[in-house]
Chains A and B, each alone.
Chain A
Amino acid sequence: LFFDPEGPLQVQIINFNFKTVQVTWNSSGSPGANLTFSYSFRPNEGDSSCPEYILEDGHTVGCVLQAEGDGILSFSIRRGTRPLLAKSQWISSYLKPDPPGDLTFRWHEEAVTVTCSELPHKSLLYEIQYKSTFDPEWQAEEGRSCNVSIPGLDPDKCYFFRARARTMEAAYGPDTYPSDWSEVAHQQRGRRRDSCQEQRLFPRFVLIS
């Protein structure tokens, strides 16, 4: 979330997979006012006005615009003619990748290699979460490509799997968003299942060392 520390305007930017950019604002300083948004992706070009406002109770609270590649978005938000905020930001800093798709599984004894369709952006991390019906929580493995091996599984058990993409901080910064999770896939004895029956878990843990 991007805050404008001094001004009354709190702004959030989300770059949806470099397709669209959503800028929303919360103007505690001028409630109910119809603020206007203008922007440009090229410094020497004139500003464009917002192509699609987001409205709430009849007044503007955000703007959705088409992304134009990996570049700097310069925008300003005005109340009438008075600028409340003017900013220039790399839209990559607010990337929310699409979820990875097409999970595939290759079992070999007590391990499985999970792959999924990678996104076109570089420097992403792919997180695979999995749990058996005996596990109360998801466990995670991560890789720089969507080809992650998970050892120590019991093929006889039924497992849930899901995947998502995250950005590497060195390449995108700390303000990005993880993708949504992929569809959950179920696997047992090396084959896809429609679902896994949840165990009624009364875990009896015995610490023996």
Chain B
Amino acid sequence: YDFTDCNFAKIEEEYQNVIFLALKEYMNGIKSTQFNHTVYCGDRPSCLTEIERLTFKSSQCLSLAKKIVTATNATLNSHCPGHSGIQINNTQAMKKRKKREVTTNKCLTQVSNLIELWRYFSRSQ
């Protein structure tokens, strides 16, 4: 999906007022600067491409953070023409996995990279 035609201002608003707090809640006081940042984006469309990849496709980490996944899905679907995102319905499955998983270091690294991508998206023009 090409994110060039998204309404970046609206996405930025929803990120700054909602998604940012969900990401911060997930990190639970651990600073993203404690992790290595290896995922780069240089403009808003490419940031959203990486954000979508890290949020929906890369691993099971974010099953722990339903709010991040649901909110990101909602904002991309609302403000990116033709973007259909993912179906969020496996509530039961999600609950079972939640009990087994803990916030692993690998997940913290992933979410800290996600945080940095959103930050870059938010401060770029």
Contact = CB atoms under 8 A, between A and B. Distances in A.
Contacts of B16: 168, 170-171
A164 B62 CA distance: 38
A92 B120 CA distance: 9
Interface stretch (B35-43, B81-89, B98-106): B35-43
Contacts of A5: 34
A205 interface: no
Contacts of B33: 2, 89, 93, 173, 175
A169 B31 CA distance: 12
A170 B122 contact: yes
Contacts, number: 61
B119 interface: yes
B32 interface: yes
A87 interface: yes
Nearest to A93: B33
Interface of B: 15-16, 20, 31-34, 36-38, 40, 115-116, 118-120, 122-125
Contacts of B31: 173-175
26 contacts: A2-B33, A5-B34, A43-B38, A70-B123, A72-B37, A87-B36, A88-B37, A88-B38, A90-B37, A90-B116, A90-B120, A92-B119, A121-B123, A122-B125, A123-B123, A170-B16, A170-B20, A170-B119, A170-B122, A171-B119, A172-B123, A173-B31, A173-B32, A173-B33, A173-B116, A175-B31
B122 A171 contact: yes
Contacts of B20: 169-170
A92 B123 contact: yes
Interface string A52-87: 000000000000000000111000000000000001
Nearest to A13: B33
A168 B36 CA distance: 22
A90 B123 CA distance: 13
